[in-house]
Amino acid sequence: MDLLEKAYRSLDKMTLFESGGLAPKRQNGCISLLCPRCGQRRAFTYDDPDYRVISCNRLNNCGYKATYLQWISGQEKPRGESFKAALKTLQENGNGFVIDFATSFPAASSKSPEDRFAHLDYTEEYMRLPHFHTEGEAYLKRRKIYGAARRFGVRFASHGEWPHIHNGQKIRQWNPGRIVFPIYDAFGEKILNLYGRTIENGNASGEDWYKVLKHDFLPGAKGPWNMDRAASVKIDSVFITEAIFDALSLVEKNPALADRTISLNGNISRLLIDKLPAKRLFFCLDPDDAGKKLTETLAEYAISKDKICFVLSKEGYGGTGDLNEAWILGRLKFDFKPYGKE
C-alpha cells in the first residue's frame, strides 16, 4: 500500500469535512455536504473509505467535482500545492493522519484507467445475475428501451444481490433492485466493470440521496459503454451519448446503430476520441449547459484529430432534456447539424 493510499485510509471523513466548514451529514450511505464552490447543500460523497470525491448535484449551475486532496489543496494551500504538502497540513491540524512523510510518493502512473484495472474481470459476477426481473423489465418498457436492452445482454440485481462489496459487506443496494449492464474491454473479451442503474419505483424522485445512489459501478474502470463495438476499424461513424438509456433510445429508433453508439457514463476525457477510428462523430449529449460544454470540449479535440463532427440540433430533442425523454414522448428526430453550425 503506497503512501497516498495509507493517507486516504487513515482519513476520518466527518472530522475532515467539519474542520473544512462543509457541515457533513450522514444520509443513506452517503455524506451530504455544503458545496465548496456554490455553498448550497447539494454536494455529496460516499460514506465509504474507498470513495474520495466530492461532487455537487447542481451540474448546470455549479458542477463542482474534486478529490478530497484537490479540495484540501485549494482550501488550505495555494492551488498547485502538492498532495504531500496538503496531507502535511492535515496532519498538523490534527485531522487523523499519522504518516511518515520521509517516505517519497511513488511516481504518478501514466497508465489509463483501463490499463490500471485491466486485471479485473467481472464476468463471473455478471453471469450469476438473472435475465429476468418483473419490476426491472416493466421499468425498461416504460422507458421504451426494453428491446434494445435485451439485445445488449441486460441483467438484473434484486435488492441485496448487487455485487458491490466493501470489507466483506454488500453496499449501495437498492430496493427493488438494479438494471445491470456489462462494460467490456476494447476487445469485447472481458468484462472490466458492471454498471448498475436503479429501478425507479417513483418514491425517490428529486431526493438528493437517491441521485447519489442512482448510478453505481463496481471498483475499476468505468467505461465508456459499448466501446468494444464502436472502436472497430470497420465502423465509419459513431454516435456519442451521455447515458446508457440515451444510447439505447438511439438503438431502439434505428437498430443499425447498435455497433455505432457509445455512452460516456461520466467519462469526459478527450482521450476516448483517440480510441475511435471512426472519421465521423455524432454528438447527442444533453442539451443543457453542461452537455453543451462537454460537446464543445470533445468536438474541438476531435476536429484537431481530423475528425468530422456533427451535433444533434435543438429540434432533434423535441423540446426535451435528453434523448430518452424525447424517445418516450415520440419527439426524437435524427436532425444533425455540422458542429459550429447547429
Q: How does pLDDT run across 306-338, given as a tens digit for each residue? A: 999 999 999 999 999 999 999 999 999 999 999
CATH 3.90.580.10 positions along the chain are: 3-92
Residue ranges, comma separated, of all CATH 3.40.1360.10 domains in the chain are 230-338
% of the chain exceeding 70 in pLDDT: 79
Question: For residues 251 and 59, which has the higher predicted lDDT (pLDDT)?
Answer: 251
- pLDDT in the model for residue 198: 93
Phi, psi dihedrals of residue 84, rounded to the nearest 5° = -60, -45
Judged against a pLDDT cut of 60, whether residue 62 lies above it is answered with: yes
Q: What is the pTM of this model?
A: 0.68
* pLDDT value for 314: 94
215-237: average pLDDT: 86
Q: How far is CA 332 from the centre of its chain?
A: 24
Residue 257 CB contacts under 8 Å (≥ 6 apart), including other chains: 239, 250, 251
Can you tell me the mean pLDDT for 172-181?
Answer: 93
Domain 3-92 of CATH type 3.90.580.10: yes
Q: Higher pLDDT residue, 135 or 268?
A: 135
pLDDT at 4 over 60: no
For residue 238, the model assigns a pLDDT of: 97
Q: Which CATH number fits domain 230-338: 3.40.1360.10, 3.40.250.10, 3.80.10.10, 3.40.50.12500?
A: 3.40.1360.10
Q: What is the pLDDT of residues 92-137, one digit of tens each?
A: 554 444 434 333 333 334 445 455 556 678 988 999 999 999 999 9
Check pLDDT > 50 for residue 243.
yes
> What local confidence, expressed as pLDDT, does residue 286 receive?
95
* Angle made by CA atoms 208, 324, 31, in degrees to the nearest 5: 15
pLDDT recorded at residue 21 = 79
Q: Specify whether the CB–CB gap between 149 and 179 falls below 8 A.
A: yes
**pLDDT reported for residue 180:** 97
Of 4 and 35, more confident: 35
Q: 166, exposed or middle or buried, with CB in 10 Å at 0-12, 13-18, 19+?
A: middle
- Position 80 scores a pLDDT of 38
